[in-house]
Structure 1
């Protein structure tokens, strides 16, 4: 399997794994936490919503305790509140208080004395008789509340399940008698229900007399791993039965449905008569939070008990009684704040169920989530592989930003909770994988090109090597260009070569080649080729420059002046001194490559090459080191001034072999016995 295939499989694996986790509802905790935070952000972008007004809260607050003296509040007062609410037209009264222990009654002796006193009062003492009746009611507070609930028929009481911290304990103990009639009667359950949250380990129920007088619904709350409350556990399995939440039971009573008309579809949702409310596989109902604390209409229970509320305040409503006094009751962290009272959470869930404003169950949106994850991963990978890194990053950012905007709009407009984290993660990782691959391929290509450039530069000049690297052809395009040509020959090498071994001869040549190369490259020229014990250098490749002629003359003098030091090295090796001869000419040449179809060499062709070669040969006849044409001298003087030709002397024009016209010749130094022409600097003394 190739590297490209491996990268492709890795890029496909990321969205496939994320899609599989989403499909199985098995995302790890950190991924669920990120998704939850994204939902919190969407709530913030959407802002608060107005409740329907069907549900109201009556809270046992600090003022209630101040007026009635103690906590827990006497159940006689709760009974009074239930009667008042029934008289005011409330359709359901849900009580978010756990009456797990009986309230202590009056001693029997005190009750007998009060009852005897009540029977002896004259009719004129009606006020005192009423007060005695109220005292007698406190003899059995539980019975008083039970009587109020039973007579009104509108009550729903809460009970609570207890879970071990790890959520894995099996159901503990026998089912209390109070729960015998509280479970769902109609249950459609899969062969293997999803119980990954574990069984409850215990249950806290109201005292029997109260449990028999009202409907029951659990008030157990299970918060997310990050501490935020986003779901309501609409049903919990305990033993072999499933039990509804208090909001579910309150809605059933509000709609006037018999227990047989409510069906639990385990892993899917709850049917209320003709209406179906979807949940996730764990029977969790997503909660559409309306806003911060106090968004649901809230009043003090003290105002109801004191008769300070207008008549009809609760007509046709569901009223939820709970506690919010300091140090009493519970509160939760929601997308709108950290102190939402537990009763207000339950009231919000009831309103969601009644209005149908629950966020669409994520199970129902599973196909859209899977498509977003797979599409995001593939598009991110495509952008990372097809575009340059910056363009791919910008494209991926636009892709992610578009999905974030779409999910925020759909949540605000249609209560659609579409997945954000997994699609964004798939797109980001897809882009990152292919961007990394593209970067790796680019780095490999860069290293290969650099290695090829270094290899080419071993056999070609840097400029030629660069052109070869950038050419679309195997060779170079032919073109005519004016250049300055320098021919260099190592005089006397042939004479000593027969005394040297091949290795010694190669060492001498390599030293000479290095000397020539340094002088030429230091001045911007290129060594076209080494010719046995000589070399040809070119100035003006790849593009001609005004200083080419001056640079060529400077390189020639540097080679000549450096021979003294190199000869000292030869002398230390027991070898005789060598001299150098150079010829320079400037003119148009054809630049290109020549050779066969598979092997070629870069070179220049033209009369200017022949002239430079003839001038190099002329140095032997003249007895000089450098022979330059007047074209080179004039070009150097016009662009670099007199310093460029310092030490050169003009000689009479000479006829060169193969040419009809004579060529103006300048030498460095002057031939022995030849005086410099007036106006030119005399050459320095040099011993040849």
Structure 2
């Protein structure tokens, strides 16, 4: 029986597992909310790529096209950079085709070598004539002084914004020539790669002093929607303002890029085909057209979830598409807080499933379902709502909680097994060892109130009452313990059970937990061995045995809280009367004729040796005489 202290210790250990899961869950949440590099690397470099690949490529929007300066164009035109007059021709042809917005992904920070400046003027005129063009610029980091236009002109290209320390901050700029800036919009084309080398986010704004400089993609998207520079910016709550829309950004004012597919996903045409009038105007009309280099020796190449070599102009086009159609991948600062809370709850839930499930396999199954459910929810939100919900932190929390729960479960089950073994050991001290499993496994044993044939043996010591008068109580108790030990060994050796110890006697049964065909022979063999053994142990205190075989009802008798094994029926009474009859006739063994018949039917006539038949003998307490067999001394049994 477990003590109250055992229960308290078990409860404390259970709380210890919960507390560990809670503390470690909080630890993972802190790492998550602080964007720990290792956790973020796994989140971005593994889980985000899985989501894109599971979703698959998406159709490109119809309102964006790309004009590329490819290898074929370079081979035909023969030089790079192209003369400004060629670029002017490109702008004019796009204007004639009806392109609504033009983004030129070329930084024009220096004058053309031609001293006359005719090419620069031609390009400036073309840009002014179209009136909706965006030129590329670059933000410089770790640079001592700004490059390009003077600092005093920054307000002409910056956005309205509230001062904030969240954005990436540059300390220099590489801007287009002033004459180009005067007739166009400008935007930075900076892209930032993570530790895995992939470009995952665009930065609609980058800080420079007290200003926010817009990105190239943001300006193209704004002009395509007929928005002026004054209608875009950053709101007080840190959202990107794009006309009537407010777009949530992450902790560094970034927007995760929602890549649509590998290289060539957007409608792409060669600049040579444009210059040679091989592109039908309807394919360019009213679209945002980005012009950039993809030739082998030109342009920049980026790694994305769909491609190892996506040209920079396609990355910019992806940014434009995301802003135009509101399908940027959303991951906000506030979201990180709720994810951190979910991490703690998932750690505790995983511990609970591991520790409290019906078994270790169920705990593993439930936690696998929890993990898969979280993955499925994240993927569904990614595909349907463009919401990037963390996987790395929550999955780590689930694994940690599941491991703690499994360990706790194993410790609990080991402790429970030890407790069960201890209790069964205690039970075995009070009931026959062969009955321990039967009684431990069921509240009501299968044999309870079962009618069957059984062998019943009563044994008693002759003259023990008189002999104990000269013994102390301690000596008497010691003697009885030895006597009971002798009985238990011999009965158990013959597959019987000692149902009750009756002071200087005992009741033994054959037929539990299941009756066996040779129970009568086993019982008689036991009786013979028992008498010989007891005679050797205590020659001066002989024993008497009564043995009968017949129908009984096996039962677990007693009250609600205390019970004992018993065999009910007249067979028990007959066995008891036969043991008493042994005293009156001076015998040490008396067995019923029914027992002898059953033994002979089994072919064990040798067990009858030394026994004498007594027909129709009167027995005290019985109305009718009984035929039995008896033996007067141990020599006849040897």
Q: Distance in 1 between matches of 2:443 and 2:253?
A: 66
After superposition, the Cα gap between the structure-2 partners of 1:340 and 1:491, relative to the gap in structure 1 and judged at 3 Å, is: farther
Offset of residue 295 of structure 1: 0.8
After superposition, the Cα gap between the structure-2 partners of 1:655 and 1:576, relative to the gap in structure 1 and judged at 3 Å, is: closer
Q: Distance in 1 between matches of 2:199 and 2:600?
A: 89
After superposition, the Cα gap between the structure-2 partners of 1:222 and 1:555, relative to the gap in structure 1 and judged at 3 Å, is: farther
- Judge conservation of contact 1:594–1:603 (CA < 8 Å) in 2: no
Larger radius of gyration: 1
* Cα displacement string for residues 450-490 of structure 1 (whole angstroms, at most 9, x for unaligned residues): 211111212322355456545769xx978876532223457
1:156 aligns with 2:134: yes
Offset of residue 529 of structure 1: 3.8
- Judge conservation of contact 1:88–1:311 (CA < 8 Å) in 2: yes
SS in 2 for 1:242: strand
1:235 aligns with 2:205: yes
Query: Which structure 2 residues correspond to residues 432-511 of structure 1 after superposition, within 5 A?
Result: 437=408, 440-462=411-433, 465-466=436-437, 469=440, 483-488=454-459
Query: Which structure 2 residues correspond to residues 288-327 of structure 1 after superposition, within 5 A?
Result: 288-311=258-281, 313-327=283-297
Q: Distance in 1 between matches of 2:298 and 2:597?
A: 105
1:283 aligns with 2:253: yes
* Cα displacement string for residues 571-621 of structure 1 (whole angstroms, at most 9, x for unaligned residues): xxxx979876533223436744559x9877655566544543454465677
After superposition, the Cα gap between the structure-2 partners of 1:643 and 1:49, relative to the gap in structure 1 and judged at 3 Å, is: farther
After superposition, the Cα gap between the structure-2 partners of 1:257 and 1:592, relative to the gap in structure 1 and judged at 3 Å, is: closer
Q: 1:55 — aligned with what? A: 64
The TM-score with structure 1 as length reference comes to 0.74
After superposition, the Cα gap between the structure-2 partners of 1:413 and 1:687, relative to the gap in structure 1 and judged at 3 Å, is: closer
Q: 2:42 — aligned with what? A: 33
Which of these residues, 538, 549, 552, is aligned with residue 586 of structure 1?
A: 549
* Cα displacement string for residues 5-62 of structure 1 (whole angstroms, at most 9, x for unaligned residues): 555555566777777777x574664266337644433433433222222221122222
Number of paired residues? 621
1:652 aligns with 2:624: no
Q: Distance in 1 between matches of 2:382 and 2:562?
A: 69
Offset of residue 201 of structure 1: 5.8
After superposition, the Cα gap between the structure-2 partners of 1:470 and 1:302, relative to the gap in structure 1 and judged at 3 Å, is: same
After superposition, the Cα gap between the structure-2 partners of 1:499 and 1:339, relative to the gap in structure 1 and judged at 3 Å, is: farther
Offset of residue 71 of structure 1: 4.6
* Cα displacement string for residues 350-375 of structure 1 (whole angstroms, at most 9, x for unaligned residues): 12212223245546867986896687
- Judge conservation of contact 1:182–1:216 (CA < 8 Å) in 2: no
Which of these residues, 513, 520, 530, is aligned with residue 549 of structure 1?
A: 520
Query: Which structure 2 residues correspond to residues 144-543 of structure 1 after superposition, within 5 A?
Result: 145-146=123-124, 148-150=126-128, 152-162=130-140, 172-174=144-146, 177=149, 180-181=154-155, 183-189=157-163, 193-194=165-166, 199-200=169-170, 203-206=173-176, 214-265=184-235, 268-311=238-281, 313-362=283-332, 387-389=357-359, 390-391=361-362, 393-398=364-369, 400-402=371-373, 404-420=375-391, 437=408, 440-462=411-433, 465-466=436-437, 469=440, 483-488=454-459, 513-531=484-502, 534-543=505-514
Q: Distance in 1 between matches of 2:541 and 2:46?
A: 84
Between 245-254 and 177-186, the greater mean CA deviation after superposition? 177-186
- Judge conservation of contact 2:588–2:632 (CA < 8 Å) in 1: no
Offset of residue 447 of structure 1: 2.5
* Cα displacement string for residues 408-465 of structure 1 (whole angstroms, at most 9, x for unaligned residues): 4444344344455555566666666556555544443333222111112123223554
Q: Distance in 2 between matches of 1:585 and 1:637?
A: 14
- Residue segments in structure 1 that go unaligned for 5+ positions in a row: 109-135, 164-168, 673-683
- Judge conservation of contact 2:232–2:240 (CA < 8 Å) in 1: yes
Q: 2:3 — aligned with what? A: none
1:88 aligns with 2:97: yes
SS in 1 for 2:309: strand
Between 44-53 and 583-592, the greater mean CA deviation after superposition? 583-592
Q: Distance in 2 between matches of 1:317 and 1:545?
A: 95
After superposition, the Cα gap between the structure-2 partners of 1:342 and 1:524, relative to the gap in structure 1 and judged at 3 Å, is: farther
- Residue segments in structure 2 that go unaligned for 5+ positions in a row: 1-7
After superposition, the Cα gap between the structure-2 partners of 1:53 and 1:624, relative to the gap in structure 1 and judged at 3 Å, is: same
Offset of residue 248 of structure 1: 0.7
Offset of residue 235 of structure 1: 1.2
After superposition, the Cα gap between the structure-2 partners of 1:274 and 1:480, relative to the gap in structure 1 and judged at 3 Å, is: same
SS in 2 for 1:582: strand
